[in-house]
Every structure is written in C-alpha cells, then in structure tokens.
A and B are shown apart, each in its own frame.
Chain A
Amino acid sequence: QVQLVQSGPEVTKPGASVKVSCQTSGFTFTNYHLIWVRQAPGQGLTYMGWIRPSNGDANYLQKFQGRVSMTADTSTNTAYMEVRGLTSDDTAVYYCARLFGVLADTPRIDYWGQGTLVTVSS
C-alpha cells in the first residue's frame, strides 16, 4: 500500500534551518511528483511547491522562493524539504503528499504523509 512516512517533530530557533524527510513506499517513486503543504496551528492548508524525483526538477510558490529547497533521493525513495531563515511564522505542520494524474493535466493530491511539526521558538 502507498505510504509516506515523515521524520519526527523539530524544535528550532529563529534564523536556523530545518530539513524534513518523507520516506515513500508502495509505489514507483520516480513515476510521480511530490508536493509539500504546510498548516500553521489552527489555520488552513498552504501549498508550498513540488518536486519531480525522476530528474530533481522543483518549483516553489513565490513566497517561499529563495528560502525553501526540495530534493529527492531515488536510492532510498525519500523526499526532503529544507526551510532556511526560520521565523516564528514558519511554525507549522509540514506535509508531503503525492500527486496523481499529472500527465492527464488533472492532477490530484491522493496520498499524504502524517505530517511533521516544526516549532520555531527562541
């Protein structure tokens, strides 16, 4: 069965960086795009960007450009997302998720990781 298992919670200080992992199984990692979505405490969902593990192409929402990097390791079927220059506004649960239907131009987010809480506090 499709699984996306993320790394554990992180507590970090303002100005620092954090790297969250998303280990996948149950599907061919290089056949899909993955995305990252975050959710601040008590707030809604915010799309951040995508990565194509087969060739490493990535694209980020403008508000995250320059501060976020998405990478993938095809030897371990694991995706990573790094956020730099953290502020308290980055405190959130970060989710990885799989995109289905990209080639048909009707993509949907079909499977999600369990989420990783990142807390930024001095």
Chain B
Amino acid sequence: QSALTQPASVSGSPGQSITISCSKTSSDVGNFDVVSWFQQHPGQPPRLIIYEVSKRPSGVSDRFSGSKSGDTASLTISGLQTDDEADYYCCSYAGRLTFLFGGGTKVTVL
C-alpha cells in the first residue's frame, strides 16, 4: 500500500475540468511540501507537469494546476482534451533525496 493514495481512475468529457487527489497516508512521506505531478502516456517516460505543489515548468499548459490542503495535494486539469488521456502520478520529496510516488491515476476522456 502506497504512502500516497490516488484514485485509480478519473474520467471526464472534453472541455470539462477534473481533479485528481493525492492523500498522504504515512509519516514516511515527510512534510509534504515538495509535491510534483507527472503525466505518462503509454510507452513513454513520465513528464513533469507540476512541481513544488503548484508551479508549472516552462512549456506546460496552464490548463494544469496544482494545489494542496492539509494532507491532500490535488491536480486539476481544465478544458479537458483527448491528449490528456494518460496516467498521472503524484510524487513527494521525503527528505535525504528520497522520493515517494502515488499509485497513479488513469484519466479517461469520454
């Protein structure tokens, strides 16, 4: 059982907004202040889309946004597009250059 819990799947129609949660369920996660999100299409490596809870790397669409409240981080995808269909992983820095990943969420565009 992962120390970071994500829903197995989330779906939405094109144009809608969806939110993926990532809940800290173990103290092994650390202070949960350095949270990243990755998008992974089938057969591809993960791609960084959010870091430090809510920052976007250069080149990432502003349709992706991150937030955190207490022990739950969230990724929101607005204006859902077919290319957003992928797996999404949250990741928390647990100190001493150790990282923990959530179990992943499969996003389906209906």
Contact = CB atoms under 8 A, between A and B. Distances in A.
Nearest to B99: A47
11 contacts: A33-B97, A44-B89, A45-B38, A46-B101, A47-B98, A47-B101, A59-B96, A107-B93, A110-B48, A110-B57, A114-B45
Contacts of A33: 97
Given A44-B103, A47-B99, A59-B96, A113 B48 contact: no
Contacts of B23: none
Contacts of A29: none
Contact-residue bracket for chain A:
20 to 34
Contacts of B51: 108, 110
Contact of B97 (A95, A107, A112, A113): A107
B15 interface: no
Interface string B67-100: 0000000000000000000000101010011111
Interface string A101-122: 0100011111011110000000
Contacts of A106: 34, 52, 93
Interface of B: 2, 34, 36, 38, 45-48, 51-52, 57, 89, 91, 93, 96-104
Contacts of A37: 101
A35 B99 contact: yes
A50 B97 contact: yes
Nearest to B104: A44
A102 B97 CA distance: 8
Interface string A64-91: 0000000000000000000000000000
